[in-house]
Amino acid sequence: MKLDTPIKSWLLAGFLALFISACATTQEEVMQDGPPVDDQTQMDTGVIQDDDTGADATGLEGSGDSGATAIADDGPMNAVEMLEQTEGALANRIIYFEFDSAKLTSESIEILETHGNFIAGNGEVTVRLEGHADERGSREYNIALGDRRAQSVRRVLLFQGASTDQVETVSYGEEQPAVSGHDEEAWARNRRVELIYTVN
């Protein structure tokens, strides 16, 4: 059976209208229900839909505002708090030297670079560099050696950005030993520069 052209046109228009109507209904349902949410999205938003009650839960058992654990962000530490730390390069405030030398080791330079950056970044901080020597040598020679050691430390701190107003030096020579004794172990502990901080 052959259909004439006007009937074909009407049938085609009818199918097209039916198709458009079906598409519109599906789109309205999606817009009313919202976008489809998969399990991962539910976990990311922290909202879980309970199928039995229809209630939202924001965590695990006993959830609610009282069950939430907030992580407090106190912000960056101030200079005093940084100096109170017992670990790290800032906690190491004694630089040791070889016998009759004011030369810094590479390890000492790394420690001092951290101190220099800290001082440069905190204008309220000052440091006194106390130079020391062991008991060998004359009093005058050891005062001069302690000063050379303190000046070696000072140069590194200034190179890292500390200002001259923030760094002072003093030499005690052999007068204030860290360890009593007359052997190499005691002498090694006494050949040093101590960094004494003040926060204004």
State pLDDT tens for residues 1-34. 555 666 666 666 665 565 566 555 544 444 455 4
In a domain? residue 56: no
DSSP state letter for 35: S
Mean pLDDT of all residues in 59-87: 64
State pLDDT tens for residues 131-178. 999 999 999 999 999 999 999 999 999 999 999 999 999 999 999 999
Q: What is the CATH number of the domain that holds 137?
A: 3.30.1330.60
In a domain? residue 182: yes
Q: pTM surpassing 0.75?
A: no
Q: Which residue, chain included where needed, has tokens 């209208």?
A: 17
Backbone angles phi, psi at 193, to 5 degrees: -125, 130
| Cα–Cα dist 83/70, whole Å | 27
Containing structural domain, residue 122: 79-199
Q: Which amino acid is at 95?
A: I
- For the chain, give me the number of helices (H) and strands (E)? 6, 6
Q: Which amino acid is at 75?
A: G
Helix (H, G, I), strand (E, B), or coil: what is residue 113?
helix
